A and B are shown apart, each in its own frame.
Chain A
């Protein structure tokens, strides 16, 4: 069984970090994983994305055209990746940063105001964790529990003070009901 996730957003939104967190969780769960970032000559405020593949067997391509899931942290990411999600897949959209609805009706769309939720929890910087939580709550990929353990294990010492906040953000994302009204 193999699943692929593309995570995309502005540089600084923590896109690469939540990708790495997924990869670390996969590693801890004895899965095969690849994590590959876009590494073009990017500039501050530009776009960033990474592709994570989690599999039970040797991974072929680390590049994926039609991923099982996409986390779109902003509008340009939604525009770029909406059409690429595999039919039946999951698209997590950051409703706080996107001013249009999703057109696809053959995928599961999780539109979640991640920035607003993160702000409510104390810091907009954990919006990425809310988004990752929302993915975990809607796709059988890796368990929330395993991701929390990986966060604890692999987060650098200097960032351990954010551990509880991050866990909270993950949980809020995972518990988010898709039917909740979407804030524009």
Chain B
């Protein structure tokens, strides 16, 4: 199919629909609203349920119920709305049913603003909802990648009976780029053996997240964790740029990753041997490639549009063996490539250290510029 110029939010909506989305439940919030708006027109056209719920709490619990029937379902929101969904997400995880969530992250905390940010990383990647669970988290950096990840999200959710979150930010949601949309898939006809759809007199089947017997709950926890290990084995995705001969490596996901690409190119033009590792799955985190790079390179620079959240995941892999520095902008401020280039230069010229915490050094530098 030919490429078309399409907005990130709209592209994800259309890609979900073409991947066989059977029901959508959501509530409008900027900078995500076009996603819901597109589906509000397209779903009824195809005779599929679209519900604008009374709130995000309503939406996620409608997703929970609909997912129990084994249908392909999703919701989408932006940061404050996603916070409201946390209880429901934990219940869905605890019931071991597949669902897809899109979080178009905006500046925060609190109501914050509607500008692009990555401050939901910890909430999405390291918890948010209560209890022992993980989500698979896909972090595309372009409209095309967001389209591709949307189809994958449904497949992974069903394969592992996990929640898959597509972590975007306001700029990918609002930006138009050429993208090729997938062809329309027929709706899934197979009914998973765990689904509850009425037995018509047959044996009763129950889907729930309540488990009052701790040893039985622990068996379920073990099952979830073993499946997570399997996901960590099989589903890591990332993109490499200029890593072959790199002495320095920038690590960044989503929009921060693609902005870093501009800085890395500019540094390469000056003869600096720097590369970029852009995780596409931030959960599972690309540990093996980072481990491999730790053995080869001089130092790392982590770039994010938050206060250094993925930074901790990088540090856990690098474990003080090589210096790791950090640069980020917060609150909906998007870094420009020249800011990252300055940081790359500092990495190359500066005194590298594995002492102290990179966040402290970054905060001291940031305070001087934005004080």
Contact = CB atoms under 8 A, between A and B. Distances in A.
A and B co-occur in one complex: yes
Interface of A: 20, 23-24, 27, 32-37, 39-41, 58-66, 154
B258 interface: yes
B114 A39 contact: yes
Interface in B261-295: 261-265
Interface in B175-193: 175-178
A35 B176 contact: yes
Interface string B13-40: 0000000000000000011000000000
Interface stretch (B75-83, B151-159, B333-341): B333-341
Nearest to A31: B178
Contact of B176 (A23, A58, A60): A23
Candidate in A20, A39, A66 with the most chain B CB atoms within 10 angstroms: A39
B76 to A, nearest CB: 17
Contact of A36 (B174, B264, B336): B174
Given A33-B5, A39-B170, A60 B258 contact: yes
Contacts of B175: 34-36, 62
Contacts of A60: 258-265, 337
A40 B170 CA distance: 11
A37 B34 CA distance: 14
A27 B3 contact: yes
Contacts of A34: 175-177
B243 interface: no
B115 interface: yes
B263 to A, nearest CB: 8
A34 B3 CA distance: 13
Contact of A40 (B5, B115, B260, B262): B115
Contacts, number: 66
B174 A37 contact: yes
A23 B31 CA distance: 21
Nearest to B258: A60
A58 B265 CA distance: 11
A63 B176 contact: no
B176 A61 contact: no
Contacts of B334: 63
A24 B4 CA distance: 9
A20 B5 contact: yes
Nearest to B172: A62
B90 interface: no
A34 B261 CA distance: 15
14 contacts: A20-B5, A33-B5, A35-B177, A36-B176, A37-B174, A39-B114, A58-B261, A60-B265, A61-B262, A62-B255, A63-B259, A63-B336, A65-B336, A66-B338
B31 A39 contact: yes
Given A39-B31, A39-B114, A63-B171, A33 B258 contact: no
B259 A20 contact: no
A59 B257 CA distance: 11
- In the A-B complex, the 5 residue pairs with the smallest Cβ-Cβ separation, listed nearest first, are A60-B262, A60-B261, A61-B259, A61-B262, A35-B176
Given A32-B178, A63-B334, A40 B259 contact: no
B174 A39 contact: yes
Contacts of A61: 258-259, 261-262, 336-337
Contacts of B264: 60
Contacts of A36: 171, 174-176
Interface in B107-148: 113-115
B351 to A, nearest CB: 28
A59 B175 CA distance: 13
Given A40-B115, A63-B334, A20 B176 contact: yes
B324 to A, nearest CB: 22
Most buried by B among A36, A64, A65, A66: A36
A33 B177 contact: yes
A40 B176 contact: no
Given A27-B178, A36-B171, A39-B114, 15 more contacts: A20-B5, A27-B5, A36-B174, A39-B31, A58-B261, A59-B177, A60-B258, A60-B259, A60-B261, A61-B336, A62-B175, A62-B255, A63-B334, A66-B338, A154-B5
Contacts of B262: 60-61
Given A60-B265, A61-B336, A65-B336, A41 B176 contact: no
A32 B258 CA distance: 14
Contacts of B337: 60-61, 65
A83 B266 CA distance: 21
A60 B242 CA distance: 14
A63 B262 CA distance: 10
Contacts of A40: 113-115
A85 to B, nearest CB: 15
A41 B174 contact: no
Contacts of A64: 336
A65 B258 contact: no
